[in-house]
Amino acid sequence: MSSAWLAWRTIRRYRMRTILATIGVALISALLFDMLLLSHGLVDSFADLLNRIGYDVRVLSTEGLPLSRVPIQNATDLAAAIARLPEVESVGRLRIQRATVTRAGRSDLEVVLVGTTQTGSRAAWTVLRGRDLPGLPSSDPCPILVTRNLAALWALEPGATLPVRATLPGRQSALPSVDCRVIGVADSLFAAADEYDVLTTFAGMQAVNGGSIADDADLLLVASRPDAGSAAAVRAIATLRPDLHVYSNEDVVAQFNRNGFAYFRQISIVLSSMTFIFAFLLVGTLLTVSTNQRLGEIAALRALGIGRRRIASMLLWESTLIVGGGGLLALPLGGALAYVLDRILQQMPGVPESLHFFVFTPNVLLFHALLLSVTAIVAAGYPIWLATRLPIASTLRAEVVG
């Protein structure tokens, strides 16, 4: 009889105890799995969002992220100068301001108006219906893309007309509304669930602002040449304009990891440690109680010639089967719980809908399996010590007398 077979016979014999123990381990392991997903999920998701746009360098007028609200002046000339650098492939400009949209029979709605030169594969949105913003000047003075939540709220489809009025900071806008034509419905990567985004060209932004707009940009997006890399592009732009602040995607993610993600990382570490301890205590307690109840059985096996190593191996197999079964059940449980928690956290103000807090990676699965393996081994330590040091004769005598 192998140790694994003896362990299997034991857990089948104590079926109810095994089921309860496996369920307990599954619940604890599901929470541990979710905390591991959270530990790097937000950073990985944020990095994926940045990389999906196709621009790997960002130019701001002031230090720090998120976007600076101090505009970069003379943005057209600056973008042209940066585009001429040998390390740079292309440059896009971005301008953001508040605006108000109106519709007959409905209350005015505040939106985020985004003026951009981005189009095609390097756009920070995915067109769901209609067509993308024109890359070149067109006859349409104010083409716009509306995000899916705004389109659903007001039943907007490509071809509809939407009056847009610019909101001037610090005072009520005196500018008239401009009838903009909806050319498409899109999912904006950085649109928050509690906000409505309207995307347009720089010409459209100028039309909304009364036909006159300063040559400013809140952000310049730069795509480096593949043979040069983002680091070389950052150095070249910083040399060209030392007064500006230039960040690669790696710099942005590193800063976000240090500042924006510190709170979630601390929560993840604390809860992961607690769930690991709970799993160890649960399995260790159950195995210890089970071993104490079976001291006579273990002594009889020892008297029949089964050595200490096989007894220790049997108890280790019991621990492995319980923890392993619970760990397998934890994966679908943890995945379902992570989905629910992710949807709740995405409702926080200012959080982009495309940003996820729980992200699955193969490394998370491997680390989860490693932690459960350690739990199974450590939890079986005391029961193994108890069983292998058991005095055979006195234990059998106490069993018979008892």
Quote the longest CA-to-CA distance of the chain. 102
Across 121-125, 167-171, 205-209, 268-272, least confident range: 167-171
pLDDT digits over 244-269, tens only?
999 998 988 888 777 766 676 777 78
Residue 63 β-bridge partners = none
Q: For residue 386, which of 330, 315, 328 has the smallest C-alpha distance?
A: 315
**CA–CA separation, 305 and 295 (whole Å):** 16
Confidence at residue 366, expressed as pLDDT on a 0 to 100 scale: 93
368 pLDDT more than 60: yes
- Residue 261's φ and ψ, nearest 5 degrees, are -100, -5
pLDDT band at 389, cuts 50/70/90?
A: confident
Tokens linked to 211: 């036909």
Contact (CB, 8 A) for 243 and 180 = no
Tokens linked to 175: 């500018």
Question: What's the one-letter identity of residue 54?
Answer: G
User: Which of 350 and 284 is assigned the larger pLDDT?
Assistant: 284
Omega before 169 within 30 of 0, i.e. cis: no
Q: Which contiguous run of DSSP H or E holds residue 111? A: strand 109-116
User: Which of 211 and 162 is assigned the larger pLDDT?
Assistant: 162
Average pLDDT over residues 279-298: 80
Task: Please name the residues in contact with 309: beta carbons below 8 A apart, sequence gap of 6 or more.
Answer: none
**CA–CA separation, 286 and 288 (whole Å):** 5
**CA–CA separation, 135 and 121 (whole Å):** 11
**CA–CA separation, 233 and 158 (whole Å):** 38
Q: For residue 150, which of 135, 139, 164 has the smallest C-alpha distance?
A: 164
Torsion angle of C-alpha atoms 139, 144, 145, 147, degrees rounded to 10: -170
Q: Percentage of the chain with pLDDT > 90?
A: 25
- Which single residue is written with the structure tokens 């029979």? 105
Average pLDDT over residues 213-236: 89
Q: For residue 315, which of 259, 258, 225, 387 has the smallest C-alpha distance?
A: 387
Confidence at residue 121, expressed as pLDDT on a 0 to 100 scale: 60
Question: What's the one-letter identity of residue 330?
Answer: A
**Residues in the chain, overall count:** 402
Average pLDDT over residues 154-164: 92
pLDDT digits over 119-135, tens only?
766 667 888 899 888 87
Confidence at residue 137, expressed as pLDDT on a 0 to 100 scale: 67
For the ranges 193-197, 294-298, 394-398, the maximum mean pLDDT occurs at 193-197
**CA–CA separation, 367 and 26 (whole Å):** 16
Confidence at residue 330, expressed as pLDDT on a 0 to 100 scale: 93
Cα end-to-end distance, the chain, whole Å: 29
pLDDT band at 332, cuts 50/70/90?
A: very high
139 pLDDT more than 70: yes
CA torsion sign for 52, 53, 57, 60 is negative
145 pLDDT more than 90: yes
391 pLDDT more than 50: yes
Angle at 290 between CA 272 and CA 305, to 5 degrees: 120
Between the alpha carbon of residue 193 and those of residues 44, 107, 344, 359, the distances in Å are: 20, 19, 11, 19
pLDDT digits over 69-112, tens only?
678 888 889 999 999 999 999 998 888 888 999 888 788 899 99
User: Which of 399 and 222 is assigned the larger pLDDT?
Assistant: 222
Q: Is 25 in a helix, a strand, or coil?
A: helix
**CA–CA separation, 126 and 303 (whole Å):** 72
Confidence at residue 68, expressed as pLDDT on a 0 to 100 scale: 46
**CA–CA separation, 354 and 349 (whole Å):** 14
Q: For residue 115, which of 92, 138, 88 has the smallest C-alpha distance?
A: 92
CA torsion sign for 183, 189, 195, 200 is negative
Confidence at residue 334, expressed as pLDDT on a 0 to 100 scale: 93
Confidence at residue 86, expressed as pLDDT on a 0 to 100 scale: 94
Task: Please name the residues in contact with 340: beta carbons below 8 A apart, sequence gap of 6 or more.
Answer: none
**CA–CA separation, 181 and 166 (whole Å):** 16
User: Which of 154 and 174 is assigned the larger pLDDT?
Assistant: 154
Confidence at residue 136, expressed as pLDDT on a 0 to 100 scale: 64
User: Which of 37 and 66 is assigned the larger pLDDT?
Assistant: 37
Average pLDDT over residues 156-184: 82
Q: What is the mean pLDDT of the chain?
A: 84
Q: For residue 162, which of 134, 200, 217, 120 has the smallest C-alpha distance?
A: 200
Average pLDDT over residues 305-317: 83
